[in-house]
Structure 1
Amino acid sequence: MNYHGGHRRKHYRGGDDYDNDRRKEMYETPEQKLRKSIINLGEVDPVQELPRLAKEIYEQASLSIPAVSEGFRIGVTEQPFKVPFYAALLRLLHDPPPDASEEAATGGSTTLGKQVLEDYWKAFQAFLDKLAWREIRLCIHFFAHLTMARLVSPQSMFELLKSFTAVLEEFSASHGRAMKAALCAAEGLMMAGPIFKQENDTDASEIINAIAAYTDSVVGSKVLVQPIARLDAEAPVIEHADELLDSALAALRIFKTDDFSQTADSFPQPYLELPEYTGSLFDLPSVLVPPEVIELDGLTTDSGEDAQIKKEEWPQYYVQLFDNDITPDPTTPVGYAIRSSILDLIDIFEVNRKECARLLLEFPKWTLPGTFKPRPGAPPQEPLAGKDWQLESTVIEVILGSVFLIPESAHKPVYYFALITELCKLSPTTVGPAVGKSIRKLYSLLADGLDVDLSRRLAEWFAVHMSNFGFQWVWKEWLPDVSLSIRHPKRIFMRRAIEFEIRLSYYDRILKTLPEPMQDPNASLMPEEAPGPDYDYDDPTRPYHDAAQSVLNLLRGRAKAEDVIGHLDSLKNTISETAEGDVHVDTVLRSVAMQSLLHIGSRSFSHFLNAIERYLPMLRHLTSSSIPGGVGIAIPEARYDILNAVSAFWKRSRHMVVIVFDKLMQYQIVDPTDVVSWAFIYGGSSDASIGKVSFDAFQWDVLKGALDKANGRVMIARRKVTALRKEEDDNAARAKASDSATMEVDAEGKQANVIPAAESPALTTALKAFTTLTREQKAALSRTLDGFVGYLVAEDKPNPHARKVITENAWHNRANWDEIEWETWETWCWFRHFSRMYSPYLRNYVNTLAEASLSKVGPASDPAVGLFKKTWNIATGQE
């Protein structure tokens, strides 16, 4: 046992501070102790603790009903796996205390449980007013269990659920709002269904039909977010994945078919073991789900409507990795209940991954006995309804399903990666095999059309996970795949995973982990050299070495930017004398200057930033066309030369290219549109007859950085304009109020001193900046769409491969695809990802973008054009 931690803490923080902290921890108020006891229900055995905790609450309830209610609220919304037991606890609180009078015992006074429930309803109403959807849904779980415990009237509970299905009929309700409301109604019905079946005035079909009608209306949007990308069919069969709302609907239909008899096999119901409550039932007040808060700032889109950028919410598909005899099928009642509970736990405990991992491994404690296989050394249990699932495989499947949501996960992927690592550390012998099987399953799905962005995330997770466990992997299993086409998804995955591993470790170390056939340069898996800078002018035998060394010496000596610019101008004649062929002097000069600057900054990130900031005037000079007696005007060719120089210098560390591009955009040396154009013009492979045809993950990283920069600038400018307008309006209102109150001051003269909001210099400047940045954003989006049109469906240079890879026969024969066909398929998938990722921005400029880009596509009879327009229409909400 370690006895030194406290002394070290006392030594470093000071004795007084430490003693004060200890006293604060020791002296809790009675209300705090009571609330803590409620929250900590079930630390050992929840069923056995219920009577003791109910007695404790009775003894101290006179202190504060709100404290008891708050304990329930925190427990229900932050520990949802305990909800059935909180319902049982509240059921006990509806019984009179042991020392109650005869009048109280016979129902002559309001029970403690009912007082707590009344106070709890106020908290639920507060959640509803704020549209805190997770808390709302978990409260509905609580009310549903209370309905089963005969504490809440079934009719009022049914009406509460119907109030959420009413959201599904709202005009233009967002998918996110509708999905959350539907899940509230669906899950509440799953838990309280047996009671509704007994009531004449409640018909579960009413809720089920409302949810089904909504899911049928969003079939089109599901096409773009399926984890297995299929481009060859109008409505492909979804394999290896299930959509969240569709799973809930499927489970509900099974519940309904079996007259909700499976509720008892899906959710713990400890309250049913208690005597039935015979007192008056609590009627849940009727509610109206508040509308979404839409903040319009008066800035308009190209269609004349008020601008509003809101993250688009899509249907949620979860990848299935294991057979139904290993993990529960989420389209069945018990399978849906288990996955929903695990998802809630992962979401709530995002702030503490270690605690989340512990609770996940203890999850069987809160499920019905026999749901999961017993842990090694635990007493055997009778499987639940013939099911005996593996806990670790179930947990890993749900976590990875969350990681691979499209277009992006709810939390940062690194949280899920770290959570899996914590699980492996807590139980390596049971979690490790589940992780290995998951990797192998996902790897096998690469050839079946796993979405390209999911493939990228898989490579990231694989590399991070390997880095936490010594980079140990059985690479020999994948040796046969080295013979596949170099652009086959499996080859791309291996190459990318190795690249990520090298970033997290060292080149030589990763090389040693690979079998010899994979180390062979002909395998094209390992880079030929370790990552690092590649200065083109380091070799004395290379052209322009002397000129580059002279520039490098000036930069090393921290010469003034003006002196470096003068020296560069003086080098033009020298370079022109030695230039070979069609080499442009200015292009060479920019390459020499940019690579020399990067060489100075290659030692560390801080060196790079210092170098960039010191020589910003030089960079602006390089990207300008000098006009005698005038000002330099930026030209696209100059900016492309700068970007090409960066790409050449960091060609062995491509992530550094993205980082440097970001800084060049930040310092406004290049614009986002320049970077977007560079990604399409200079990235990917090409075909002599049709030009550029491929788009890969590196180009996507470059493109995403540019689009995010443009969109982020517009968002900041919009907020600034909104804040200035509010400030000006407030000032005008105060001035007007002051003028009305001060009668002796000349009203007309007073008003003359008030600057209208529209004439405020600060606001005028902000509006001009917003207009400029909006134009830049629109140009970046338009250039991106132009790029994909040129790659896939351009009328002037049709791409026969773009048509070929989307046919059903071609997909079935994909084992025979060559490099160009796999590249084209990947490009199609990145276009899909761009469309769904930036859907909110595309919708704001749908008319402008369509006129500028879609007019360049080929004939409508071309299947590739049809697919391109279909994808565009879904992303922009037109289909």
Structure 2
Amino acid sequence: MSYHGGGHRKRRYQGADDHGHDHRRDTFDTPEQKLRKSIINLGEVDPVQELPRLANDIRAANDAALATGGPAIPAISEGFRIGVTEQPFKIPYYAALLRLLHDPPADPEATLPTDGSPTLGKQVLEDFWKGFQAFLDKLAWREIRFCIHFFSHCTVAGLVSSQTMFELLRSFTVVLQEFGVSHGRAMKAGLCAAEGLMIAGPIMLKSGADVTEIITAIRDYSESVISTKTLVHPVVKLHEPSPVIEHADELLDSALAVLNALKAEDFAQTADSFAQPYVDFPAFSAAPFEVPSVLVPPEVIELDGLTTETGEDAQVKKEEWPAYFVRLFDNDVTPDPTTPSGYAIKSAILDILDVFEVNRKECARLLLEYPKWTLQGTFKPRPGAPEQEPVPEKNWQLENTVIEVTLGSIFLLPESTYKPIYYITLITEICKLSPQTVGPAVGKSIRKLYGLLSDGLDVEVAHRFAEWFSVHMSNFGFAWVWKEWVPDVSLSVRHPKRRFVRKALEYEIRLSYFDRILKTLPEAMQSPEAQCMPEDAPGPEYEYDDPSKPYHDAAQSLLSLLRGRTKAEDVVTHLDSLKNTISETAEGDVNVSTVVRTIAVQSLLHIGNRSFSHFLNAIERYLPLLRNIASGGGASTTGSSNIDARMDILNAVSGYWKRVRNMVVIVFDKLMQYQIVDPTDVVAWTFVYGEASTSAVGKTTFDSFQWDVLKGALDKANGRVTIARKKVTALRKEADDNAAKAIATEGAAMDVDAEAKADVMPVAESPALTTALKAFSTLTREQKAALSRALDGFVGYLAAADKPNPTAAEVITEDAWHNRVNWNEKQWETWETWCWFRHFCRAYSPYLRNYTQSLEEASVSKIGPSDPAVDLFKKTWNIATGQDI
């Protein structure tokens, strides 16, 4: 075939259809892939009706595979593994499907094995067990737990021996008794044992298994960590020696409460709590699968051989804490997680949030479709759905339940499992899918959380609440009924509700415009006297723009040089002359050096305030200038330490961006990154200089802005140590590999005795490794200094011997808490400071534990004699450092 004219007509290929589609590019699934997909897609319409058809399809596929050379067992079991571990809400139906695969085919013409080989279902189960063993070897806890659910359902279906299944669950309780077991490992193992027993308990009880043994092991562990729970409860009552039980539920404690409730009624409630689609099948008469005995592998601790200057282990493992989830609604609206049905529902929703974190749109869809996988009558019917007979003690509201569990995940302390932005955007997606039903649930949740602010909602939870509220409002036109909160304007300006309103509006302004947000407020909240909104729109505050202000001419001369991109050395020379000029005209006790530094830093920020890229360009161009200022000297200074100079830099930044406080945190981060200031400097500024420059009242207060600054500094110090450690470890591994290669090469080249071979083993450290070790040592000292300075700051605020704080004792007693409606600003400030100290201890617990002894000698020793405040300070410190468990 030929074409004339050299046009752009589409070439036709053999195999192309009439529309020119080239079928050679089509991809087709193999029979194994189709088989896996059919198993994974179980229940797209109706899982109960699909089970018999899917079982027949699997048998047919296996017969076809046998006819062509091999069984399809690996593909089938892989489909089961994927379905069980990535779609946990389908696990009961996968157990039912496996039960059907144990039965002979319904087709009378089908050929049955005559050699005594196991049924198709048993072959699949045996292969599935191999996958579970691989998960166990890797300590893939999420997959392990879902497999335990699957085996437990199979036990109820008669496919797995109840006695061997009980022994499997017991093997997880052994983890709870390990010496020094981390809470994360213990909680995961405990949940595996507890949830497996919830599902398979009725069968185990009938077989004579001592289920009390498992319950007792979980209870003993839970009681051993009760003091730890006091630091992570989302509702704070400082006077309580143990965590309060209202407003939140701890995950492992909820599981324990469910087991006790089930055991009290011989597990009769299991059938009403967990779907069991296989219970109506004929009794399984064949021999059940004997679960092999297993041993849960120990935690893998990677030792890199690095130690701090105190000889302590430098390896930091993230500390895992008890998981408390906020309760927002009554038990007739959302399920109570301490009941069997409630626990089953809420843990299943948590699993969906966990598994589908990679795809929030799919997660939102599955959450709203979740009733499809629950027992009938669990949730109220959706609008337009057929009416159902309500089930006593159920009939909950799906949307309220989903929002409550999602918000509980956001507010986990000390940090959420995933970044809060995942859960925030997920709630937005759920609202978009069903705004008429989800919107009211979100509104009710906001009101419940706002109410808890008066009842002791943790400051970090309130911080995240404000972030979520502002982002959610930005996605829906900033439409909120602010007039509901107008009466609270009469509360103390430091009351948590007043702080929340200011913080939320500050975040909203960042996401929009000052004037637009102002118009969303009722008139009573717009006035300056209400102190809800800032007095002015966000923006820089250059002190030297006004010609009537002192040093205007000096600042303008410097500004001209910077705008003209004058060389840094020439600018330094100009600063020296400027200093002499100001000294000649200064009056009173003016610190000329501070004035010059402030002019220089603010002028540099002023030329870079148009955008973040302008700011970075200005900073990078004038790094020599900043280093000179930080050293405290003139052009000849070579980097000597000057704490006052560095504090002047930080004060100048905070003064320039005092109306945009998030910019203070950003600029501080860049100054630390370029090593103009150290993390320890920023920590010191947070407690001492930060108050004066941000107009804080008093010297014993700590707020969310200071926490953002402190967190940025500590994270920078800790991050540098982590990077340095990884670098040293990599260089050591490289040196060891090179030494091994050298020995192998030397041994192959000549035949020498063992003593001669030993002579080639020592290998000198490379210059790169020597440098990396020195850097690591320096950075660990910096890390300890930053932590010590932070602890010093909290000691000074709350429990210092030389600065007794009478207000501290006024807010930590039970009587004081009951009288909180009459608290003044000072008392609310002190309460907030206590809460931030608690959060500091739990958030940085792994790092504090590395330096416990030295920090106690340097900081904790400064606290005063025993009194309620001192005792609470010590208790909080001891819990965080593992000395009071």
Return the TM-score normalized by structure 1: 0.95
Q: Give me the whole-angstrom Cα distance separating, in 2, the residues matched to 1:318 and 1:477.
A: 27
Q: Give me the whole-angstrom Cα distance separating, in 2, the residues matched to 1:606 and 1:682.
A: 28
Partner of 1:800: 806
Deviations 1:664-710 (A, max 9, x none): 0000000000000000002347999x961100000000000000000
Partner of 1:315: 322
Which residue among 791, 798, 810 is the counterpart of 2:797? Answer: 791
Q: Give me the whole-angstrom Cα distance separating, in 2, the residues matched to 1:375 and 1:738.
A: 74
Q: Give me the whole-angstrom Cα distance separating, in 1, the residues matched to 2:875 and 2:693.
A: 26
Question: Given the alignment of the two structures, is residue 438 of structure 1 paired with residue 445 of structure 2, yes or no?
Answer: yes
Partner of 2:421: 414
Partner of 1:378: 385
Q: Give me the whole-angstrom Cα distance separating, in 1, the residues matched to 2:587 and 2:333.
A: 67
Letter in 2 for 1:180: K
Which residue among 846, 857, 870 is the counterpart of 1:851? Answer: 857
Aligned to 2:316, what secondary structure does the other structure show?
coil
Larger deviation, residues 828-837 vs 731-740: 731-740
Aligned to 1:318, what secondary structure does the other structure show?
strand
Partner of 1:276: 283
Question: Given the alignment of the two structures, is residue 119 of structure 1 paired with residue 111 of structure 2, yes or no?
Answer: no
Which residues in structure 2 correspond to 1:12-31 (within 5 Å)?
26-31=27-32
Which residues in structure 2 correspond to 1:431-510 (within 5 Å)?
431-510=438-517
Partner of 2:79: 71
Which residue among 833, 838, 846 is the counterpart of 1:840? Answer: 846
Q: Label 1:795 to 1:426 Cα distance change in 2 as closer, same or farther (>3 A).
A: same
Q: Give me the whole-angstrom Cα distance separating, in 2, the residues matched to 1:564 and 1:486.
A: 45
Partner of 2:230: 223
Quote how far apart the aligned CAs of 1:301 are. 4.1
Which residues in structure 2 correspond to 1:626-665 (within 5 Å)?
626=633, 631-665=638-672
Aligned to 1:570, what secondary structure does the other structure show?
helix
Q: Give me the whole-angstrom Cα distance separating, in 2, the residues matched to 1:748 and 1:227.
A: 64
Quote how far apart the aligned CAs of 1:631 are. 2.6
Q: Give me the whole-angstrom Cα distance separating, in 2, the residues matched to 1:259 and 1:122.
A: 33
Partner of 1:585: 592
Letter in 1 for 2:682: V
Partner of 1:54: 55
Unaligned regions of 5+ residues in structure 2, if any? 1-9, 11-15, 66-71
Aligned to 1:695, what secondary structure does the other structure show?
coil
Partner of 1:872: 877
* Aligned partners of 2:173 and 2:190 also within 8 Å: yes
* Aligned partners of 1:368 and 1:384 also within 8 Å: no
Which residues in structure 2 correspond to 1:157-168 (within 5 Å)?
157-168=165-176
Quote how far apart the aligned CAs of 1:573 are. 1.6
Partner of 1:766: 772
Letter in 2 for 1:830: W
Deviations 1:566-624 (A, max 9, x none): 11111112212333321211101111110011011111101111111100000000011
Q: Give me the whole-angstrom Cα distance separating, in 1, the residues matched to 2:753 and 2:114.
A: 75
Deviations 1:6-53 (A, max 9, x none): xxxx9xxxxx9x999986664111111110010000000000000111
Quote how far apart the aligned CAs of 1:316 are. 0.5
Q: Label 1:772 to 1:382 Cα distance change in 2 as closer, same or farther (>3 A).
A: same
Q: Give me the whole-angstrom Cα distance separating, in 2, the residues matched to 1:21 and 1:261.
A: 61
Letter in 2 for 1:79: Q
Aligned to 1:34, what secondary structure does the other structure show?
helix
Quote how far apart the aligned CAs of 1:833 are. 0.1
* Aligned partners of 2:361 and 2:429 also within 8 Å: yes
Which residue among 748, 764, 786 is the counterpart of 1:780? Answer: 786
Letter in 1 for 2:826: I
Partner of 1:817: 823
Which residue among 518, 535, 544 is the counterpart of 2:542? Answer: 535
Q: Give me the whole-angstrom Cα distance separating, in 2, the residues matched to 1:22 and 1:711.
A: 56
Q: Give me the whole-angstrom Cα distance separating, in 2, the residues matched to 1:746 and 1:287.
A: 45
Partner of 1:13: none
Question: Given the alignment of the two structures, is residue 699 of structure 1 paired with residue 706 of structure 2, yes or no?
Answer: yes
Q: Give me the whole-angstrom Cα distance separating, in 2, the residues matched to 1:23 and 1:674.
A: 66
Which residues in structure 2 correspond to 1:735-750 (within 5 Å)?
735-743=742-750
Q: Give me the whole-angstrom Cα distance separating, in 2, the residues matched to 1:815 and 1:74.
A: 54
Which residue among 179, 186, 197 is the counterpart of 2:194? Answer: 186
Q: Label 1:438 to 1:33 Cα distance change in 2 as closer, same or farther (>3 A).
A: same
Which residues in structure 2 correspond to 1:294-333 (within 5 Å)?
294-301=301-308, 304-333=311-340
Percent identity between matched residues is: 73
Aligned to 2:325, what secondary structure does the other structure show?
strand
CA RMSD in angstroms, aligned pairs only: 2.2
Q: Label 1:623 to 1:730 Cα distance change in 2 as closer, same or farther (>3 A).
A: same
Letter in 1 for 2:316: I
Partner of 1:675: 682
Larger deviation, residues 547-556 vs 496-505: 547-556
Which residue among 126, 130, 138 is the counterpart of 2:138? Answer: 130
Unaligned regions of 5+ residues in structure 1, if any? 1-9, 11-15
Deviations 1:303-343 (A, max 9, x none): 63433201100001000000000001000000000000000
* Aligned partners of 1:302 and 1:845 also within 8 Å: no
Quote how far apart the aligned CAs of 1:97 are. 2.2
Quote how far apart the aligned CAs of 1:832 are. 0.1
* Aligned partners of 1:683 and 1:695 also within 8 Å: no
Q: Give me the whole-angstrom Cα distance separating, in 2, the residues matched to 1:230 and 1:574.
A: 57
Which residue among 863, 867, 870 is the counterpart of 2:868? Answer: 863
* Aligned partners of 1:487 and 1:823 also within 8 Å: yes
Q: Label 1:685 to 1:574 Cα distance change in 2 as closer, same or farther (>3 A).
A: closer
* Aligned partners of 2:410 and 2:416 also within 8 Å: yes
* Aligned partners of 2:349 and 2:405 also within 8 Å: yes
* Aligned partners of 1:452 and 1:830 also within 8 Å: yes
Which residue among 70, 95, 109 is the counterpart of 1:87? Answer: 95
Which residue among 615, 634, 644 is the counterpart of 1:608? Answer: 615
Q: Give me the whole-angstrom Cα distance separating, in 2, the residues matched to 1:263 and 1:236.
A: 29
* Aligned partners of 1:247 and 1:336 also within 8 Å: yes
Quote how far apart the aligned CAs of 1:384 are. 2.9
Larger deviation, residues 63-72 vs 639-648: 63-72
Q: Give me the whole-angstrom Cα distance separating, in 1, the residues matched to 2:372 and 2:143.
A: 23
Q: Give me the whole-angstrom Cα distance separating, in 1, the residues matched to 2:710 and 2:621.
A: 27
Letter in 2 for 1:771: S
Q: Give me the whole-angstrom Cα distance separating, in 1, the residues matched to 2:244 and 2:517.
A: 40
Which residues in structure 2 correspond to 1:203-242 (within 5 Å)?
203-235=210-242, 237-242=244-249
* Aligned partners of 2:491 and 2:498 also within 8 Å: yes
Q: Label 1:607 to 1:753 Cα distance change in 2 as closer, same or farther (>3 A).
A: farther
Which residue among 116, 133, 139 is the counterpart of 1:108? Answer: 116
Q: Label 1:124 to 1:747 Cα distance change in 2 as closer, same or farther (>3 A).
A: closer
Letter in 1 for 2:469: F
Partner of 1:734: 741
Partner of 1:3: none
* Aligned partners of 1:713 and 1:773 also within 8 Å: yes
Which residue among 190, 204, 207 is the counterpart of 1:199? Answer: 207
Larger deviation, residues 270-279 vs 28-37: 270-279
Which residue among 133, 142, 153 is the counterpart of 1:145? Answer: 153
Question: Given the alignment of the two structures, is residue 344 of structure 1 paired with residue 351 of structure 2, yes or no?
Answer: yes
Q: Give me the whole-angstrom Cα distance separating, in 2, the residues matched to 1:485 and 1:107.
A: 84
Q: Give me the whole-angstrom Cα distance separating, in 2, the residues matched to 1:750 and 1:642.
A: 59
Quote how far apart the aligned CAs of 1:377 are. 1.1
Letter in 2 for 1:453: E
Q: Give me the whole-angstrom Cα distance separating, in 1, the residues matched to 2:694 and 2:238.
A: 22
Q: Give me the whole-angstrom Cα distance separating, in 2, the residues matched to 1:638 and 1:547.
A: 19
Deviations 1:821-845 (A, max 9, x none): 1000000000000000000000000
